[in-house]
Amino acid sequence: MRTMKKLLGCVVAVVVALTSLPASAQLELPAASPSAKVMQAVGLTEISVDYSSPAVKGRKLWGELVPFGQVWRTGANMTTKISFSRDVTFGGKPVPAGTYAIVSIPTEKEWTVVLNKELGLYGGGKAYDQKDDVARVSVTPTQAPNRERMTFLFSNTTEDQTSLDLEWGTLRVSVPVKTDTSKYAQANIQDAVNGAWRSLANAARYVADTSKDYTTALGYADDSLAIQSHWFNNWIKADILARTGKYAEARKFAQTAWDLGQKDQNFFYKDLVAKALQDWKGKK
């Protein structure tokens, strides 16, 4: 009886000690399936996978722990997600830039790897629905060196393609991912060129307005026009020429600005250009 009283007293003491801990105190222990993330840049496109990494722990994986013929979360805990910063093809299927859930349907000889729009499939209370699939890819699994924890990795990466590999146990599933790096690079170049002519035109206007160094300002205006002729840089040059008294030449550039501006709904200097054309008429 005395022993029981001592034991009960110890239990009460432990309970009191635990309940008296601050509310913010959290017991941290290693996760059975720790979170992981892998990222790969492919040219100008970034691809990343966020997932939880379960372990084999001596179990038979395929056909038992992971049943054949059923949708598998392809990981553990929360939904496994893949993100693309630009449009890609995933196993030959076009996929817009964005974030998607990765699920799969393993069989003994072939896997179906699926990208799905619903990100709350696991841990979010959402059920898998095939109508939300963005891409379904058939893949033949291959042998790989033994890996205790399920791992996503990228291999054979070039400027415009990579292979997304899933490895667990002695099995590997690979899906090719491609992106049009040349198209995106050309678009970036064009954006830089488009920005350059406008920056030079603004530089010409700034120098003319502040330092009154019209020679330098005209140089910037000419550099801008050499890249692209737009109503804005034509007007900037016309204005600078007029300030130096070269009205006949200024009027030519103002006329070009007027003509180009008629095609632009953002021709916000329209009234100013029209007035200049009228005021400079007959001046040399």
Residues 172 and 189 in one domain: no
**Encoding tokens for residue 184?**
């995106």
- Owning domain of residue 208: 182-279
Q: How many residues does the chain have?
A: 284
Task: Give the pLDDT of the chain (284 residues) as one tens digit per residue.
Answer: 455 455 445 444 444 444 454 555 689 999 988 999 999 999 999 999 999 999 999 999 999 999 999 999 999 999 999 999 999 999 999 999 999 999 999 999 999 999 999 999 987 778 899 999 999 999 999 999 999 999 999 999 999 999 999 999 999 999 999 999 999 999 998 888 888 999 999 999 999 999 999 999 999 999 999 999 999 999 999 999 999 999 999 999 999 999 999 999 999 999 999 999 999 998 88
Of 127, 145, 178, which one is at a domain's C-terminal end?
A: 178
pLDDT of residue 23: 52
pLDDT of residue 12: 44
pLDDT of residue 16: 44
- How many structural domains comprise the chain? 2
CB-based contact 135:95 (threshold 8 Å)? yes
With respect to residue 258, please indicate whether it lies within any of the assigned structural domains: yes
Identify the CA nearest to 175 among candidates 106, 61, 73, 93: 93
Of 148, 178, 208, which one is at a domain's C-terminal end?
A: 178
With respect to residue 140, please indicate whether it lies within any of the assigned structural domains: yes
